[in-house]
Amino acid sequence: MPGIIPGVLTGAFRFVPGHNCLFRILLSAILFVSCKPTTTKDTGALAEAFVDLPVFDRPVDSLLTPEARALLINLNKLKSKGILFGQQDATLTGVDWKFPENKSDVKELTGAHPALYGWEIGGAGKEDNIDSIPFQLIRQRMIEAFDRGGINTVSWHLNNPVTGGTAWDVTPALSKILPDSILSDFYKSELQKIAGFFLSLKNAQGNYVPVIFRPFHENNGNWFWWGKGRCSPADYINLWRFTVSYLRDSLHVHNLIYAYSTDMFENEQQYLERYPGNEWADILGCENYWDFQSGSSVSNGVAQLKMLVNMATVRKKIAALTECGFSGIPVKNWWTQFLLKSIREDSLARNISYLMVWRNANRKNYYTPFAGHKSAPDFIAFERDTFTIFEKDLIGIYSLKNNAE
């Protein structure tokens, strides 16, 4: 979430997730990603099954739903072929609108929805989330995105368990919700609420919506109650592992891909200080609003992505720029010359699988342009670039095509 520190044109095909994926089959797969007029994006063949892989290759959840399993595999196969573009609350709010159906500022400008959608589930169990958006509507938009072939990612700004204040209330709390601690039952009840939401994400065909779950993010910053200086690295790691195991093993939620994500970092040691371990994360992410806003600091942002990709590659994980952006986009060529060019032209940084900007709340707080905005032409060029992937470029992201078929 921003504000804490200083900061592809194809045919009309849409992918609807298949309903006959087998669970533990040997996979020989091809991800079909549609092409813009100038190129074809071929992710190649896959001939591995998770069940036969070493522990570092396996997903956190060995019982992943078929669609979630396919998504994880296909994101991995997209490395260096292109970057998926995402936005928080893209089909919920815009600069001049709120809650209409099948609308996003991105689509209004480019003709294509984002490939990836961010959502917030802080406040689960209540009618609205912490941003005053009804959970019923969030659920609907997530299912719609899934049915169109888009990807969903979720953050969770849980209120401070001790005070009841917001996630930004840094009163020490984390150690009190660990197993056998005074508020452990309270924390379990919060996990039961989000599990209920995740398990309610079913489309008309009865398929669970895969979700990239990104809890307790920006943990190396000091602005959340789970952040650096607010809890020990060991307690943070214990909380992460308990969260995953309770959701997966006790509550039987199997449509989640787990993303570990920090804020900006200086070196691998700092990034890994609170890393829960290779068996507990599928995606290694970082969030960086500041470095990509200025030409003088872009190199710092690229350097972090290079370290991130290196760490993910060694661990056979997916790397992602889980949050970034420039509020108001005051630089007219920011999309192509600052963000895209710097990442695409670096042989390591280009291996991130996706990036996501923050929401468009109104004309004073927005992260993608609209008609008449000075960066609108550049954003259209950004969408048309052969290296960016938007929703209508995704064909078969939830499918693994067996050669025997």
Average pLDDT over residues 15-26: 35
What is the model's pLDDT at position 13?
Answer: 28
**Any alpha helices (H) in 200-344, and if so which ranges?**
233-245, 268-272, 298-314, 341-344
Measure CA 136 to chain center: 21
User: What does the alpha-carbon distance between residue 224 and residue 170 come to, in Å, rounded to a whole number?
Assistant: 6
What is the model's pLDDT at position 400?
Answer: 85
* Residue 369 confidence (pLDDT) above 50: yes
In tens, the pLDDT along 238-273 reads 999 999 999 999 999 999 999 999 999 999 999 999
**Arithmetic mean of pLDDT over the chain:** 88
What is the model's pLDDT at position 357?
Answer: 98
Catalytic-labelled residue, pool 120, 218, 287, 391: 218
Q: Which two tokens stand for residue 357?
A: 């900007």
218 is catalytic: yes
Average pLDDT over residues 6-16: 31
User: What does the alpha-carbon distance between residue 3 and residue 88 come to, in Å, rounded to a whole number?
Assistant: 14
Can you give the three-state secondary structure of the chain, one letter per residue? CCCCCCCCCCCCCCCCCCCCCCCCCCCCEEEEECCCCCCCEEEEEECCCHHHCCCCCCCCCCCCCHHHHHHHHHHHHCCCCCEEEEEECCCCECCCCECCCCCCHHHHHHCCCCCEEEEECCCECECECCCCCEHHHHHHHHHHHHHHCCEEEEEECCCCCCCCCCCCCCCCCHHHHCCCCCCHHHHHHHHHHHHHHHHCCECCCCCECCEEEEECCCCCCCCCCCCECCECHHHHHHHHHHHHHHHHHHCCCCCEEEEEEECCCCCHHHHHCCCCCHHHCCEEEEECCCHHHCCCCHHHHHHHHHHHHHHHHHCCCEEEEEEECCCCCCCCCHHHHHHHHHHHCCCCHHHCCEEEECCCCECCECCCCCCCCCCHHHHHHHHHCCCEECHHHECCCCCCCCCCC
In tens, the pLDDT along 323-340 reads 999 999 999 999 999 999
| Bridge partner list, 84 | 354, 389
* Residue 19 confidence (pLDDT) above 60: no
Q: Which residues contact 242 (CB under 8 A, 6 or more apart)?
A: 178, 179
* Residue 154 confidence (pLDDT) above 60: yes
CA angle 246, 140, 216 (to 5 degrees): 35
Q: What's the pTM value of the predicted model, to 2 decimals? A: 0.88
Q: Which two tokens stand for residue 296?
A: 């003088």
* Residue 65 confidence (pLDDT) above 80: yes
Identify the CA nearest to 88 among candidates 102, 75, 106: 106
User: pLDDT band at 47, cuts 50/70/90?
Assistant: very low
User: pLDDT band at 296, cuts 50/70/90?
Assistant: confident
CA angle 205, 209, 213 (to 5 degrees): 170
In tens, the pLDDT along 169-224 reads 999 999 999 999 999 999 999 999 999 999 999 999 999 999 999 999 999 999 99
The CATH fold assigned to 29-393 is TIM Barrel (3.20.20)
* Residue 42 confidence (pLDDT) above 90: no
Q: Which residues contact 108 (CB under 8 A, 6 or more apart)?
A: 94, 370, 371
Domain ranges of the chain: 29-393
In tens, the pLDDT along 75-105 reads 999 899 999 999 999 999 999 999 999 999 9
Q: Return the SS3 of 202.
A: strand
Catalytic-labelled residue, pool 67, 120, 287, 323: 323
What is the model's pLDDT at position 30?
Answer: 37
* Residue 7 confidence (pLDDT) above 60: no
Average pLDDT over residues 371-385: 98
What is the model's pLDDT at position 53?
Answer: 57
108 is catalytic: no
In tens, the pLDDT along 51-63 reads 555 556 789 999 9
